[in-house]
Chain A
Amino acid sequence: VVERVVFRGKHLAVARGARLELFEVAGEMLHGVGGGEAPGDIAALCVAPHAPWVVGRDAEHRQVWWWRQDDGVRILARPAAARDHAIGSLVEIDGESFVALSQSGRLRLVRSDGTEAAALVIDRPIRWACHGFALLPGGRVAVLGNIADEPTDLVFVLPARTLLSGPDAIQRTLVAIRAHDPTVSHDRALTLVAGPGPGDTLVVLRNPEAEEPPPDPDDEADEYPDTWGLRGAYLRDLTSGAMVDRTPWDVRFAKLAAAAATARVLAVEVPGGVDVRDRATGAVEHVLGAALDALGARLAIPEGSSWRVRALPQ
């Protein structure tokens, strides 16, 4: 049975098959606070940082559901047609958690009481599949997903409250990216994840595989993005847009893995745990079985039937 673990803020969710367990931070430990059964084997899940609230789905995207400690499982979405499927995630805006459902050309943000806070257009003029979100410093959010038919994923950064500013909030940003608007921090790669960095920075881990060969000798260097050809991690200042660190790193991570950086380390979830890389020496520690709370810059490490919290070096 595959185990999946997600750690955000106060909460850590563990899925084994269809079984879900929720843990809550208490001092240096996490203690079990409840659990339940999902409608099927859990293939992906998100947990709200400040509420006992989990969103998940099965491998075939047959249904997206939420689980809450007080009222159990509720089905949120099922495919509307043979070629349709939903993706569910959670996003924090001004301290409030919203379920984000990407399906049938809309990204719906749903409050914990089940009411719809926003319905963003994600099919025209650009069709977008929203995979998930990573919270960033300064009330910003990194939005991860892909444009239809593209092999690469795309991440871009928005003030989180922009998601509630009108139905065209995502489209405005996608159109700006297409027009090479330098004010929108974004990146493309076959695999990429993002998270908070130290101060007012974003950390991105990316693997372009063979999509970014060395620039042609007759091209000017500034004709290429500053990320071109990088397999590894970089930090970008979210105020100036400048790349402030660039680290080639052959690390194997999955899509939607949590990632974070501090002044001293880079950290990313990898199969079987978290890799923590010392930014000065390059030494990598694999923390077996751990999960990463990116915004809190800390790990949850299994200890018997519970979990222990360990802060990343600052």
Chain B
Amino acid sequence: LNLGRRSQRSGLQGDLLWGLGASGPRQRTGTDPHPDFDGASAFETTSKAEVDRFMGIRGRSSPKSNHGAITRAQLAEKGLVAVETPSDNALSTEAGLKHYSIRPADSPDPNVKLTSEQMDFVKAQLDATRPVIQAKPKDFGCG
């Protein structure tokens, strides 16, 4: 696998929260036409087999695009928390991966809409978090 040095160091066995872009999970803020009122989306993998399934689904649409993953420890350092929420993305419905919403640690209830200020906070904290892994579906033979 050509995952780069950071990903080789970190491995794929741990608990990882993947975003669907190179930077990892990202927050759509209140200026977006469709804000993430419940928090930034992430999909969890806990094993190489789950990463394979993640990349298999992503390879259908974005085989050349990098995907970034971060850890819960990184979230905690930034005052954030990931809470499980439903998703009808194929990553959940077909690959069986759990979907999480990343929110301020002091507002974990996903049924409570984040305010514009809270969405800005989540975005700023995630933007300041470097992914521990970046990988492309094609690195896994997908797409």
Contact = CB atoms under 8 A, between A and B. Distances in A.
B35 interface: yes
Interface in B2-32: 19-23, 26, 28, 30-32
Nearest to B99: A149
A256 B111 CA distance: 28
Interface stretch (A33-41, A79-87, A238-246): A79-87
B88 A127 contact: yes
A123 B33 contact: no
A131 B34 contact: yes
Contact of A145 (B21, B34, B89): B34
A313 B21 CA distance: 39
A263 interface: no
Contacts of B60: 178
Could you say which interface size class chain B belongs to?
20 to 34
A213 B4 CA distance: 14
Contacts of A210: 22-23
Chain A interface, >50% SS class:
loop
B74 interface: no
A215 B64 CA distance: 8
- Interface size band for A: 35 or more
A83 B37 contact: yes
B112 interface: yes
B38 A83 contact: yes
A123 B88 contact: yes
A87 B111 CA distance: 19
A149 B87 contact: yes
A24 B30 CA distance: 31
Interface string B96-120: 0001000000000011110010000
A258 to B, nearest CB: 14
A173 to B, nearest CB: 14
A60 B33 contact: no
A116 to B, nearest CB: 22
A132 B110 CA distance: 26
B33 A87 contact: yes
Contacts of B35: 61, 85
B66 interface: yes
B20 A87 contact: no
B34 A146 contact: yes
B34 to A, nearest CB: 4
A123 B86 CA distance: 13
B135 to A, nearest CB: 13
B110 A124 contact: no
B61 to A, nearest CB: 5
8 contacts: A44-B33, A82-B113, A85-B37, A132-B33, A149-B89, A151-B21, A151-B26, A219-B64
Interface of A: 44, 59-61, 82-83, 85, 87, 123-125, 127, 129, 131-132, 145-146, 148-152, 177-178, 190, 210-213, 215, 219, 223-224, 228, 254-256
Interface of B: 19-23, 26, 28, 30-35, 37-38, 41, 43, 60-61, 64-66, 87-91, 99, 110-113, 116
